[in-house]
Amino acid sequence: MLKKLKLSFLNQLIGRKILIYWVVSSLTFFGVVSFRQEESDKLRTVVIDAGHGGKDPGAGNGREKRFVLDMALKVGQKIKANYPGVKVIFTRDSDVFVPLHERAAIANKNKADLFMSIHCNANPHSTKLAGTETYIMGLHKTEENLELAKRENNVVLLEENYKKSYKGFDPKSPLAHIMLTNFQNAFMKQSLSFASKVEKNITKVGHRSRGVKQAGFIVIWETTMPSVLIETGYLTNAGDAEFLASNEGREKISLAIFRAFEEYKKEIDR
């Protein structure tokens, strides 16, 4: 009995420490955000994040890390060609492993005005699910969204000292993922605007859109600018897998993301 009480007290203490960290982090976050908003209202810098890489293969036995890198580079090239005044930064431009917190740090350090993380999806329970989903930071509306966030966030286990880097965040704990959703970031409106434009343009290139959704992803949790995570299709679906495996398919996705960027930039800059 005494042992159980001690264990219960210890769990409560750990929970309180994590909660205190989230509160302090949020105050710091909103302080930085306030400064950033006063500093600029133009879209001058974009950070494009190709998910996974290196020792982290992503979904589809390494197909994800290859496909998303190609799409990220294509999007960046289009932006550079059409908007030479916009600085394009890649979190990775080759097959290397970049910790999640470093991806966000790259965006914050360069004072990016927009952050997009490109991924491929997978569902171990169904081969019928197909299409793109663009996520913004927020509450997991479904168990499916929570499970996806867990899979994406589990990559931290490949990092050395991940508990130190993420201040006690445990990717195996449902509570930890739920707490992430409390960071309904100050750029929710802008993130939603860009995400909606991505999904709208996806349909225009002939790919299926599953809409804009919310979930708690570490990679967009620590960013201090409008941020989205784009799932470009399900590698567990034969149609999507074939589409993403083709250069034509990846070109179409990249074009849709670029067009969304173009529309969003016009909206922000006017």
Mean pLDDT by 10 residues, the chain (270 residues): 45 48 48 48 94 96 98 98 98 96 92 97 95 84 54 58 55 57 68 97 98 85 89 98 98 98 96
> Quick one: pLDDT at residue 218?
78
CA-closest candidate to residue 119, choices 43, 267, 12, 219: 219
Look up residue 206 and give its amino acid: G
pLDDT of amino acid 138: 72
pLDDT value at residue 145: 47
Q: Tell me if the domain spanning 39-120+132-269 has CATH number 3.40.630.40.
A: yes
Q: What pLDDT score does 155 carry? A: 57
This prediction's pTM: 0.76
> Burial code of 228-261, b = ≥16 C-beta within 10 A, e = fewer?
bbbbbbbbbbeebbebbeeeebbebbbbbbbbbb
If 0-12 CB within 10 Å is exposed, 13-18 middle and 19+ buried, where does residue 104 land? buried
Q: According to the model, what pLDDT value does residue 14 have?
A: 43
Domain residue extents for the chain: 39-120+132-269
According to the model, what pLDDT value does residue 165 have? 54
Per-residue confidence (pLDDT) for residue 220, from 0 to 100: 84
Q: Determine the pLDDT at residue 203.
A: 98
Question: Cα dist. 41→124, 144, 163 in Å?
Answer: 42, 35, 36
Question: What is the pLDDT at residue 188?
Answer: 85
